[in-house]
Amino acid sequence: MTTAEQSYDVIVLGAGSTGENVADIVVKGGLTAVLVESELVGGECSYWACMPSKTLLRGSEVLAGARAVSGAAAAVTGEQDVAATLARRDSFTSNWDDASQVEWVEKSNIALVRGKGRLDGEKRVVVAQADGTELVLTAREAVAVCTGSRAAVPPVDGLADVAPWTPREATSAKEVPGRLLVIGGGYVGCEMSTAWQALGSSVTLFQHNERLLPHLEPAAGDAVEASLRDLGVDVHLGVEVQSVRREGGEVVLTSSAGEFRGDEVLVAVGRAANTDEIGLETVGLEPEGYLDVDESLQVPGTPWLYGVGDVNGRQQLTHMGKYQARQAGAAIVARARGEVVDLSDWSPFVATADRRATPSVVFTDPQVAAVGMTAAEADAAGLPHRVVEYPIGSVAGAAVHADGYTGTAIAVVDTEREVLLGVTFVGGGVAELLHSATIAVVGEVPIARLWHAVPSYPTISEIWLRLLETYRG
């Protein structure tokens, strides 16, 4: 085995969107950086998550939108072209070819090493390359672990043996499954049930909780459940999946609600950190689980090591991984210059948004867009608050958007400080309302000031005025 050595200021393990952003920030800050990647440059979001899942959903969303407007509905005389939808999905993943991402890396003056990287002591990474050789990388300043996460497969009897779909297979499938069994009623389970049912599959969804999307406002889960049932999805709540097996070409799932058969089974019950094979034990850390990090994404007690994105388990969303990458990159550059990194709130070197107010969207029909605390979370935190709700369909912009528009806006207001703790929108097209809510929550804009942020008429944004009016009484 041939071994070579190279040195850089910063080594980044994992070239997904988080790793790319860490490398970009430190290079722009005057340091050198190398990305180590064993799969596709661009990572989960580009090829198996955000981009393919949203393109699978978009065609159905457009058709539903047209059918909800009198006049336009008359023009919808056919069904969705499934082959064209899958082809469009493929185009957004560049047919699982990362050449364009590699080109960006090169143009950004970031080095790229293909292979499986493992820590091998302080500031040292050994990369096993495809040709059987090893490359030893040493970091002058920092190593950033951006290896992300993978789908967790629960210990259900027989499940691991039936080659279940994970979100990767669900977003990259080349054909519509005739019958799809979905285990899990969170973001992925609800989105993929929506997508594949609309594309012609017969979907059965199993959720152990009594409500879909249990971490969001109850109105969100209730609305998505009703929508899935209207679409034809067979939804089972409060159900325990007991075993899974294959009989011939069929998947047989036994649950507390009975026995069900399908062609594929999708597991969508959460994520597990990709930390078990990256050599953490060589630097005195546990070789599995999420990395513990401080607000600058630095691993306590190991000042040269950073855990950024999904790998720290704080908020497993692409935009939050990129946010953390920007903060960690800035901290690495500052420390390399000998500067003191301030870890107080609002410092340019710390990640606080993923604890204060994380925006998220569930791209079902209706969409669910939420940021900040739910009412239940405000209760648990003991914060004085009031919940304000208003039907979005009552504003003129919503009536223009779609005939018979239904939806709900929910604001959680801190009654002591008179600022928003959280906002949730449920309805068609509400994803585009979310950033205004994020600014209001993160910026802690007083209700008295929000009153002077006048929404345009007639747009769905008029819901802001109605929420404030309701709060004021």
pLDDT tens digits along 445-473: 999 999 999 999 999 999 999 999 999 98
Write the CATH number for 422.
3.30.390.30
245 and 290 housed in the same domain: no
Q: Does residue 91 belong to any structural domain of this protein?
A: no
Q: What is the pLDDT of residue 23?
A: 98
Q: Does residue 246 belong to any structural domain of this protein?
A: yes
Q: Does residue 359 belong to any structural domain of this protein?
A: no
24 and 144 housed in the same domain: yes
**Annotated binding residue 65:** no
317 and 454 housed in the same domain: no
Q: Does residue 76 belong to any structural domain of this protein?
A: no
329 and 467 housed in the same domain: no
pLDDT digit string, tens, across residues 267-301: 999 999 999 999 999 999 999 899 999 999 999 99
**Annotated binding residue 158:** no
Domain range holding 224?
Answer: 159-270
120: closest CA among 133, 134, 136?
136
Q: Given 294, 321, 354, which residue is the final one in a domain? A: 354
The answer, yes or no, to whether residue 356 has pLDDT greater than 80, is: no
**Annotated binding residue 422:** no
Mean per-residue pLDDT for 112-121?
97
**Annotated binding residue 26:** no
**Annotated binding residue 148:** yes
310 and 415 housed in the same domain: no
**Annotated binding residue 107:** no
**Annotated binding residue 184:** yes
224 and 188 housed in the same domain: yes
Q: Does residue 69 belong to any structural domain of this protein?
A: no
- Per the structure, the count of domains in the chain is 3
**Annotated binding residue 299:** no
**Annotated binding residue 306:** no
Write the CATH number for 260.
3.50.50.60
Q: Given 298, 327, 354, which residue is the final one in a domain? A: 354
pTM listed for this prediction: 0.95
pLDDT digit string, tens, across residues 305-318: 999 999 999 999 99
Q: Does residue 67 belong to any structural domain of this protein?
A: no
The answer, yes or no, to whether residue 97 has pLDDT greater than 70, is: yes
324 and 347 housed in the same domain: yes
Angle between helices 82-92 and 50-67 (to 10 degrees): 140
446 and 412 housed in the same domain: yes
**Annotated binding residue 191:** yes
**Annotated binding residue 270:** yes
252 and 309 housed in the same domain: no
Q: Given 300, 325, 354, which residue is the final one in a domain? A: 354
130 and 220 housed in the same domain: no
Mean per-residue pLDDT for 310-333?
96
pLDDT digit string, tens, across residues 62-93: 999 999 999 999 999 999 999 999 999 999 99
23 and 121 housed in the same domain: yes
Cβ–Cβ < 8 Å for 9, 26 = yes
228 and 327 housed in the same domain: no
